[in-house]
Amino acid sequence: MNNQSKLENVNVTTLKNEKHTKASEAATLHKQRKLKKAGLFALFVGPAFLAFALIVLIPFFTGMYYAFTDWNGVTGNIKWVGLDNFTYLFTEDKQFQTSFWLTLRYTVVAIILTNGVGFGLALLVTRMLKTRNILRTVFFLPNLIGGLLLGFIWQFIFIKGFASIGQLTGLSFFKLSWLGDEKTAFWGIVIVSVWQGAGYIMLIYTAALQNVPQELLEAAKIDGANKWQTLRHITLPMVAPAVTVCLFLTISSSFKIFDVNLSLTNGGPFKSTEMLALNIYTEAFVNNRYGLGEAKALVFFIVVALITIIQVTYTKRKEIES
């Protein structure tokens, strides 16, 4: 009996050892798989994250530090000034305040016109027209032209082209000093920006309109709904996600307008059309007050971030309600 008990104990111990060995092998295999997945993830994501960190994250946090200094952007003398830059912005820097409200006004106008024109063009090119593919290309082409080049082209059009048309036709619209007057220069920037951006917005709305079920449109037509009722109660609710995206894109691009502003008016006449991005650039790289420019950029970032978050949250909520 003693020998049998000993044999049974040996068998139990052997089974326990085998189970423990298998569990250890399974744990090791699981760990190896996790390491392999982590390695593949690092291999694919690592270079992109490194580039993002070098180009975006490090300059962003470095700029946040400089916003609290009086660095001129050239010498190595950096003095910590705390909130002095921000106090100066909101109390003494009138040009910053003027540029801020001008940018806000421009953004509202550009958002409405760019989305309105883009949606109108999308409705046009989704019609069963023989030339719809050509029209899509023509409407999208301005978006491929760089902002600086576009500004110089339209500067020639406003100064030389419109003047020639005005002489030939006698129309006062073409005789206006488009870039020499504060009011018309503002609208000149709006015209160029809408002309450039509407084609891109058109593509997003076109994709959304093509996904609207034709059965719904046909049913509405049979029920006696006119085109406006169909657009308001069927088409617009169905393309609500595209509206959210387009509003986000136009808000972001309108607030950050720089190249068209620089090449078309350079902030003139007398800084009356100097948008916020151009004001920040001038402060940092022309006036050599880099710390103050970074303070303006930080305020600019916070304002744009808050506005876009509110916009996306609100439009997403409206999507769910509709």
pLDDT in tens, 51-101: 999 999 999 999 999 999 999 888 888 899 999 999 999 999 999 999 999
pLDDT in tens, 219-274: 888 888 888 888 888 888 888 889 999 999 999 899 999 999 999 999 988 889 99
Angle at 277 between CA 273 and CA 278, to 5 degrees: 50
Give how far Cα 36 sits from Cα of 23, 25, 27, 40, 293, Å.
20, 16, 14, 6, 46
pLDDT at residue 314, rounded to an integer: 86
- Residue 322's nearest CA partner among 239, 213, 245, 216 is 239
How far is Cα 79 from Cα 49, in angstroms, rounded to an integer?
Answer: 32
Q: Is residue 142 classed exposed, middle or buried when 0-12, 13-18 and 19+ CB atoms within 10 A define those classes?
A: middle
How far is Cα 257 from Cα 268, in angstroms, rounded to an integer?
Answer: 15
How far is Cα 296 from Cα 298, in angstroms, rounded to an integer?
Answer: 5
Task: Give helix 240-255 / helix 94-125 axis angle, nearest 10°.
Answer: 140
Q: What average pLDDT does the structure give for the chain?
A: 86
Q: Which bin fits 169, alpha (ψ -120 to 50), beta or left (φ > 0)?
A: alpha
What sign does the CA torsion over 234, 240, 242, 247 have? positive
pLDDT in tens, 107-143: 999 999 999 999 999 998 888 777 888 888 889 988 8
DSSP helix/strand/coil, 23: helix
What sign does the CA torsion over 153, 259, 110, 102 have? negative
pLDDT at residue 20, rounded to an integer: 62
Identify which of 40-49, 56-65, 144-153, 313-322 has the greatest average pLDDT: 56-65
- Residue 196's nearest CA partner among 114, 107, 103 is 114
Peptide bond before residue 269 is cis, with ω within 30 degrees of 0: yes
- Residue 245's nearest CA partner among 278, 207, 302, 211 is 207
Q: Are 118 and 202 in contact (CB under 8 A)?
A: yes
Q: Are 71 and 78 in contact (CB under 8 A)?
A: yes
How far is Cα 289 from Cα 297, in angstroms, rounded to an integer?
Answer: 12
pLDDT at residue 178, rounded to an integer: 87
Look up residue 156 and give its two tokens: 């020639």
> Is the predicted pLDDT of residue 44 greater than 60, yes or no?
yes
What sign does the CA torsion over 41, 45, 50, 52 have? negative
Look up residue 73 and give its two tokens: 């952007």
Angle at 30 between CA 27 and CA 34, to 5 degrees: 135
How far is Cα 46 from Cα 206, in angstroms, rounded to an integer?
Answer: 36
Phi, psi of 80 (to 5 degrees): -75, 125
Distance between terminal CA atoms of the chain? 81
pLDDT at residue 118, rounded to an integer: 94
- Size of the chain in residues: 322
